[in-house]
Amino acid sequence: MKVGVLGPLGSGKTTLIEFIAKSLSPQHEVAIITNDVISNYDAERIYRDLVTSGIIRKENLIGIVTGGCPHTAIREDPSINLRALNNLVKKEKPPDLILLESGGDNVMSTFSPSLADYTVYVLDTAAGDKYPKKGGLGIMESDLLVINKIDLAPFVGADLEKMKKDAYEVRKGKPFIMVSLKTGEGLNSLLQILRDDLGV
């Protein structure tokens, strides 16, 4: 199963991926592919957090530096990510769950179907409660929308009820969830959605 995680810079994509990997690695062989435009920042962080602690194997982490628009590497020309996927599935013990992280992107970003079987789009309240209403392919078409950092809403003037109402309307009934990856609020429900949807 290949799960693509995308969303704006700073929304919590890497933190979400780490949460999923920690939660599912006891039962599954998990691999992670990160995409950054000019550095391997996210891959280095995941190495420190997950590889050194034995949650995922070193050979199951691949950091890609795209050198350009993050959309291109996951949609228009995903060849660099396809090569990374091919390297993972050819291993003696191939992973059964691969998490792919896009570089920071905007509301129109999507994954190529050749890369992801299931997509998660991450927004955060600190960017403003306008985002769900803005729509865009990522927000509207992802399999799951995660609205993160709800603990910050009171401090940035974000109306969570507005975000909830707008997400419901824009996604036309497709699932979304509001969480705080920092405080843990909503994470049990998020994990249950992923287990049900992914069959893991």
- Condensed to tens digits (0 to 9), the pLDDT of residues 128-182 reads 999 999 999 999 999 999 999 999 999 999 999 999 999 999 999 999 999 999 9
Over the stretch 49-105, which tens digit does the pLDDT of each residue have?
Answer: 999 999 999 999 999 999 888 889 999 999 999 999 999 999 888 999 999 999 888
Check residue 20 and give its pLDDT: 98
What's residue 62's pLDDT?
Answer: 97
Q: Is the pLDDT of residue 23 over 90?
A: yes
Distance of CA 167 to the CA centre of its chain: 18
Position 187 pLDDT exceeds 90: yes
For residue 86, with 0-12 CB atoms within 10 Å meaning exposed, 13-18 middle and 19 or more buried, which class applies?
exposed
- Give the CATH number for residue 179: 3.40.50.300
pLDDT at residue 200, as a whole number: 85
Strand runs (DSSP E) across the chain, as ranges? 2-6, 30-36, 61-65, 97-101, 118-124, 144-148, 176-178
The count of domains in the chain is 1
Which residues lie below 8 Å from residue 92, measured CB to CB, with a gap of 6+? none
Residue-range definition of the domain harbouring residue 38: 2-198
**pLDDT value for 69:** 83
Q: 141: which 2 tokens?
A: 């078409």
Q: Of the candidates 88, 81, 82, which has an alpha carbon nearest to the alpha carbon of residue 57? A: 88
DSSP, res 68 = S
Which uninterrupted H or E stretch holds 21? helix 13-24
In this structure, are residues 101 and 5 in contact, taking their beta carbons and an 8 Å threshold?
A: yes
User: Can you give the pTM of this predicted structure?
Assistant: 0.95
- pLDDT level of residue 108 (50, 70, 90 thresholds): confident
* pLDDT band (50, 70, 90) for residue 32: very high
Instruction: Return the pLDDT at 70.
Output: 84
